[in-house]
Amino acid sequence: MADRLEISPEDWSVIYPILVKHRHVRSTSEEQCRAFLVAVLQILRSGSQWRLLPEAHGKWNSVFKRFSRWSKHGVWQSLFAGCIHHPDLQSVFIDSTINRAHPCAGGAAGSNAEDEALGRSKGGFTTRIHAITDALGNPLEFLLTGGQASDIGQAETLPALTPAGARAFVGDKGYDSDAFVQAIVARDMKAVIPPCCNRNKVRECDWFIYKERHLIEYFFNKIKHYRRIFSRFEKTARNYMAFLHFVSALISLR
């Protein structure tokens, strides 16, 4: 378990140069910066409350405030973006997964559930993670909505999040829509989406490309080994996304 709560020297050699370039990262030493990330990893991996952070990692409130400040200023997002190296854009995969939200995730001050990507589905109080990965299943971009949101409901947003140069856009039947397919084609990508059985005019689907779609499911499986992703406790979508960016950065370095 201890190895899972450490950042390897190889990973740190990539992470630290990215962090120090961000103007909102203030650290008196490299050792302190690394110790802070290990403390956040402890919370992310174990799913424990901030107040239960072991004293060896420092004062829990100081760690939480710094984590939240980095979230506010986009440090975690920058870290994730910096860890993406030469993505395979032969095809990109899209899908979503629903995670249960604890009741303590509600009630963010000055906001509402919709703004914080919280909703109610058949699974109860939930958040839905919409993800885009490259042809190898490595994460590229995310979008958060309430759990009741449909896949196709994000049709206008998701193609715009896809990196330029992607050749094929792969999704399941939940994304089968003429308007969505047209939006994909308009961005010079091939739509690889199986047609729904109730279509009057059946569209062709490249099953050779589609069979690799399981790679995005593997990605969801990886991130759910981190309990702060598997269960949402954060009141704000911003902080939940920060955890998602951090774990995705670590996965991208593997």
Beta-carbon contacts of 154 under 8 Å, excluding residues fewer than 6 positions away, are 130, 143, 145
Same domain, 223 and 153: yes
Same domain, 24 and 75: yes
Res. 2 pLDDT band, cuts 50 70 90: very low
Q: Please count the residues of the chain.
A: 254
Res. 104 pLDDT band, cuts 50 70 90: confident
Kindly state the average pLDDT of the residues 227-240: 93
The verdict on residue 249 lying in a domain is no
Kindly state the average pLDDT of the residues 196-216: 90
Lowest mean pLDDT among 106-115, 191-200, 229-238: 106-115
Phi, psi torsion values for 60, nearest 5 degrees: -60, -40
Residue 70: which of 197, 246, 192 has the closest Cα?
246
Cα separation, 140 vs 245, in Å, equals 10
Same domain, 209 and 228: yes
- pLDDT of 237 higher than 70: yes
Cα separation, 232 vs 79, in Å, equals 21
Lowest mean pLDDT among 32-41, 58-67, 94-103: 94-103
Residue 102: which of 252, 234, 245, 237 has the closest Cα?
234
Cα separation, 153 vs 98, in Å, equals 15
Count how many domains the chain has: 2
Lowest mean pLDDT among 4-8, 29-33, 49-53: 4-8
Kindly state the average pLDDT of the residues 21-39: 90
- pLDDT of 239 higher than 90: yes
| CATH code of the domain containing 195 | 3.30.420
* Domain termination site, one of 42, 62, 82: 82
The verdict on residue 247 lying in a domain is no
Same domain, 212 and 122: yes
Domain residues for the domain of 192 are 92-238
Same domain, 7 and 71: yes
Kindly state the average pLDDT of the residues 153-164: 82
The verdict on residue 254 lying in a domain is no
* Domain termination site, one of 51, 82, 113: 82
Kindly state the average pLDDT of the residues 106-135: 85
* The pLDDT value given to residue 4: 64
Tokens encoding 68: 């939240």
Q: Percent of the chain beyond pLDDT 70? A: 98
SS3 labels along the chain: CCHHHCCCHHHHHHHHHHHHCCCCCCCCCHHHHHHHHHHHHHHHHHCCCHHHCCHHHCCHHHHHHHHHHHHHCCHHHHHHHHCCCCCCCCCEEEEEEEEEECHHHCCCCCCCCCCCCCEEECCEEEEEEEEEECCCCCEEEEEEEECCCCCHHHCCCHHHHCCCCCCEEECCHHHCCHHHHHHHHHCCCEEECCCCCCCCCCCCCCHHHHHHHHHHHHHHHHHCCCHHHHEECCCCHHHHHHHHHHHHHHHHCC
Cα angle value 62/63/68 (rounded, 5°): 100
Lowest mean pLDDT among 68-77, 119-128, 238-247: 119-128
Cα separation, 254 vs 249, in Å, equals 9
Same domain, 21 and 134: no
pTM, full prediction: 0.92
